[in-house]
A and B are shown apart, each in its own frame.
Chain A
């Protein structure tokens, strides 16, 4: 039996039409959605306190399910998704309501919660990985603590008959591993198979990043129709061999290069890639192009999971304020340099209390910073970007207020954005710890 698993999203803001295409034409057994970034949970917690009406799950949950669910119901495609954020059961109920509307009142929708362990903060007595110290030494107000759960509770929900499983924080590869464990009956004793499945999950978790997204370098590394990228489909065998591919008739590409770039994306030691389910070894992999946007991946290695789970502790640390303004034409770079001087003097005059101040010239050094090569030409345009990190919102706002001042009190031909959007954001720092698995108790509820 070949299990066909499709990707439905790689992050919250991802496109929806490729998910719909996979559901409609991919002949897939499972569709998996990944919608969280590192700060998703903590940001949702902060928002929930400010706005009690915020339901606490993916803000595109309704759009995504209305796009894919009719096709999934027709084909019998099951869905695994981490769109539950801080309210998996609420998300599951919402999906259940959509299914009812579509004439499927019996659809079984499970919620997996238990990743939020903010109420167990007193039991987080270990070491903060980044600092080597204890949690007590961390400055700022703690917003949340969340554990990265593995595939087990999803497998359990599927075994209990779920057609749709909506989770809180689960490690991204685990979303894709769970269907393999359930369908192939892989047990924890088969650690190498589970590692292989986790590795495949890693190839899939970033969606289009394996089908030609985050990839093109024009003239060097091109893909067809980069405006019409598909999300990937994995064809997995019970021994953990797989083919990564995509829908016919879509843009992008699946080849050795796209697969290798994704294999090492966000990986540190490639022989020891740790997930809640496994320690994956990518260095033993065989990656073979079969043609027609099909790449066979075999022999991903690995071993059994570690005794701990990773916990992210989110802390309110202050605020960042930023804005920008522009110069063009003759002398624009000289103006940008003088404008930087003006700003630095202004910040002294208004007594800015910044923890860090950064002024960039877009088009010159804003992206590669100090490592940018010196330029020996006059650019036609330069944008001056100012960013300030401060303890209080009022101090962070000074960045934008001084940029406002550049409008009529600045240099000649200063261009500005008026009106501007939100110029201050809250800094929520994330610290990592390892905890015993016993501390995290996954809970499964049916909507």
Chain B
């Protein structure tokens, strides 16, 4: 399944096969094979939950190196405003942004600007009762988008068919820059400062676009390091952004905290954060139990993007800081729009489901396999201990039947039972005397 790009990968040298990742993976994409963690590419959604728990720090995410920008004449950066939450002295965000310019970026903008641009469009989309797949789920979290594609393919129409904030901000800054400077597309490098691996994947392999929007993506953690180093070494007092920050109270809170409550106030909106909460909700939605909700802003990480895997600061502290920064921002900022707003908010192509391949393309065969899986599963102890290298007993049964290189004796409980039985048989057999043997030999000498 090399069709799918993944950011998350396992460093085989560091991994000691401890099974922690196995237990947290929400899509059962992890296996331990030959003592090392292996990621199943068709199941992984790059949420990064495994990265958080790995005690060996053996799981990382591919990102670009900052030096990449030197390959482009004009360098534009879209940053996740979660970045502001990483600094103790957060009140002067313009100074933090000024340092980006020092790094060589010609223009910078926050994802929150995307929120300012698209919020009216979402509002009228939700108002239009012809749009029937309610609740609509926002596509801001690429891990949620993939979770739905992979595990809940029947809910694909519930994904909001509009661009996510990151892509809107990217299109905006690029359009604007070209307008102002007359520079051509191929001279521009557009980069994203990401709080998580899921967004890295969304940049390399956008799900709803014909072609990539961004040229590269950096980790918020790497950038934090870089900027801290500069702060230690260099006098940056005079680096302060001159431009106004194109954001609003609402857009900043939305883009960093998933806080949508008051904006689309004619509809019923929820924020759901945390991948297990998301799965529980989607399960209910799939069962037809969710009614009267219009819009859900759904995030894989606890506390939404501010809890991203690449962040350094505690998510609750960062959340507090971002709320404080938001207080200083205007309610309704004027954003210069030298082009069609609808165009930069529209997705390039519809989202498609990506269901995990069926047991067999022939239903009769699939049913047979399903029965065999259940038969094997009934033999297993249902401890879901992970010692066989599969996250659950059911996964082991499934892996056995679909012909993965595993056996029922990978289960330590089954193996031990079998060994016990065998050793009893061996003892019994050892005590059995053959007719040709002289059993007097066995008697102790008198």
Are A and B associated in one complex? no
